A = this chain, B = another copy of it.
Amino acid sequence: VDPQIAAGIRAVIDGKAKPPGSLGRIEDLALQLGMIRHPGEPRGDNAVLLVFAGDHGLVAEGVSQYPSAVTVAMVMTYLAGRATANAFATANDIDVRVIDIGVAAELPVHPKLIDAKVRMGTANAAREPAMTAEQAADALSRGYRIAVGEIKAGADIIALGEMGIGNTASSALVVHRLAPAPLDDCIGVGAGQDDAGMARKRATITKAAARSDATAPLDVLAEFGGLEIAGMAGAILGAASQRRPVIIDGFISSAAALLAIRLCPAARDYCVFAHRSAERGHDIVLHALDAKPLLDLGLRLGEGTGALLAVPLVRAAARMLTDVASLDDVLAGKI
């Protein structure tokens, strides 16, 4: 976005029928949305959540208390409309798309499932690269095209979510290399781990990190990444290319945002960070991206649940910019 237009949009916001600054963070958000769409106006009615699902070879090392089969079970739950992401989306009139970008199982054909599978889950990154460079690029490209397609079909806002047993482990490695930050600070409990499980998770991630010294974004993605992380990073770049806001969820989505922004720094301007996750490591990504999330509700589920709860704030900020009268008009009795 063009920094030159900020002052003009800020003046419009300050001139609205309210004390200047009295809408706090919503004014900052309105400014961001106004800059993204300038000289057009931001809209928020049509919001779409893209849930990217993928599995992780690291699960073979015991980084999660759940097996990869849970990824499949949750994909079926999204398709049935019975997961938390569906509930939050229904509550707030947001469409949900479920994308198989790399689930480690053949999924049944379903009218609501987008088949974008790159491979049957990643390889075990503790022993070998998670994917090839070609597969990494392919997953990015598929995410990019899906986001662009949704926007061309009318989406005003793209929200991101993911499902993938083991993906906090993969994200820890991505954040460690791209923030960068000490590896141990990037490792959290994910969906839940006891002490023995955490020790196993740490040892596995440390072993993976020792296998490669990659620091370039695409190399880090191929060595340690997840297919759903790649898909989300691609979707961020796709949304930015179409000049639409993209709402980032928690730790894993933020790792994808970090990847996208390291690939293309201008993508940062299009990212809205939804919430501060309770997952350890999230603050590291937020700090690395100079991001202050809108919500702090102790969420640590993923699925895009936090992103869904931020959609109403984005819609409100857009409407504030487009619909609210100026104070001058109100005081002059012109309303």
A residues neighboring B (CB under 8 Å)? 16-20, 22-26, 44, 70, 73-74, 76-77, 80-84, 86-88, 90-93, 191-192, 278, 294-301, 305, 308-309, 311-313, 315-316, 318-320, 322-325, 330-331, 333, 335
Contacts and interface: CB of A to CB of B under 8 A. Distances in A.
Contacts of A309: 26, 312-313, 316
A16 B84 contact: yes
A24 B250 CA distance: 13
A140 B300 CA distance: 42
A74 B330 contact: yes
Nearest to A308: B316
Contacts of A87: 316, 319-320, 322-324
Q: Give the top 5 A-B pairs by smallest Cβ distance, nearest first.
A: A24-B298, A312-B312, A91-B315, A87-B319, A82-B325
B74 A17 contact: yes
Contact of A86 (B26, B77, B323): B323
A318 to B, nearest CB: 7
Contact of A91 (B77, B91, B300, B318): B318
A278 B21 CA distance: 10
Given A23-B299, A92-B316, A309-B316, 20 more contacts: A17-B83, A17-B84, A19-B300, A19-B301, A20-B192, A22-B299, A22-B300, A23-B84, A23-B301, A24-B298, A73-B333, A73-B335, A77-B325, A82-B324, A82-B325, A87-B323, A90-B319, A90-B323, A91-B315, A295-B295
